[in-house]
Amino acid sequence: MAKILSIDGGGIKGIFAASLLAEVESKCNVRICDYFDMIAGTSTGGIIASALAIGIPARQILDLYMNKARIIFPEKRGIWRRIMGSKYNTEPLQLELTGIFGDLKIKDCLTRLVMPTYNLENQSVHVFKTPHAEDLLFDKELKIVDCLLATTAAPTYLRPHQMHGGVFIDGGIGANNPSLIAVIEGITRCEWKREDIKVLSIGGINEADGATNGMERMGAVDAAKILKCFMNAESQYAENISRLLITKDNLVRINYNSFSNQVSIDKTSKNSLILLKDWGMNQAQDNIWKIKNMFLQETKSEFNLYNC
């Protein structure tokens, strides 16, 4: 069997996924990178995925978000600063990521890693990958921090990241749910049989906040809500197609449906952070038996990284 862990984007709501996975690692006494043959992550999911792929426990990323959220996502900038540029400064995030990953490169991962971003120059999704196939040598010398600054550069929140011969923004623009990209990678590059693939897909918080609220007054839907609608639609599409490509029951999707407006991509109040952490822990406890039996019975198969 080939096991894939996929983690959606979602800004500070990544606390949900980090908390869930930290609880799994703790309760099952495992290290995620020892059990999954591939880890995929977009945006904040890319941060968690990269950490897990180099052997860092999810607990460390959870602590980063809980303790540094207000540094990474400070108080809202003035309206004119938001109109003329990004909502937040990139430097605090870069500093925190460098403290965790240092100069580690894609080739230093302990399991296969795929991380979508979006290249503004050629208007297409670009996926950073470990060199797990002979023709995947282009990204292997890239620093993980650079790749993360690219996949987390959410429009209107963080400025685009220039690197690697391109200008990159948040991978959520094209693949907020990276499970489909990971499944296709497994089938085409790793030559895994479809029926042998299992996917644990960690989503986020589904909020029923009403994308059309206020349309009568505004005459338009808020731009951020439009972006969220696109990402939600893409995520559902990725899940549905992934289920068609592999055995339906071999994909486990975990979300949390909230009717609260207390969480958003960048809301960092103490109460919001605690809610996200608790929701992730609760989902881990509700799904621990299934996760353990489907994904944690055997360690991952051996694999080679080329030219490393």
| Both structure tokens of 189 | 């590059």
Strand 38-41 versus strand 112-119 pairing type: parallel
Q: Which of 166, 81, 92 is nearest to 122 (CA)?
A: 166
- The arithmetic mean of pLDDT across residues 120-146, rounded, is 89
Strand 2-7 versus strand 197-207 pairing type: parallel
Dihedral sign, Cα of residue 98, residue 117, residue 114, residue 282: positive
CA dihedral angle for residue 116, residue 60, residue 284, residue 17, rounded to 10 degrees: -30
pLDDT in tens, 53-105: 999 999 999 999 999 887 776 544 443 344 444 455 678 888 999 999 999 99
pLDDT, mean over the chain: 84
pLDDT in tens, 160-213: 888 877 888 887 887 899 999 999 999 999 999 999 999 999 997 766 555 445
Q: In this prediction, what percent of the chain has a pLDDT beyond 90? A: 54
Contacts of 248 (CB under 8 A, 6+ apart): none
User: In the chain, where are the structural domains located?
Assistant: 2-295
Q: Supply the pLDDT for residue 144.
A: 97
pLDDT in tens, 13-55: 899 999 999 999 999 999 999 999 999 999 999 999 999 999 9
pLDDT band at residue 137 using 50, 70 and 90 as cut-offs = confident
CATH topology for 2-295?
Cytosolic phospholipase A2 catalytic domain (3.40.1090)
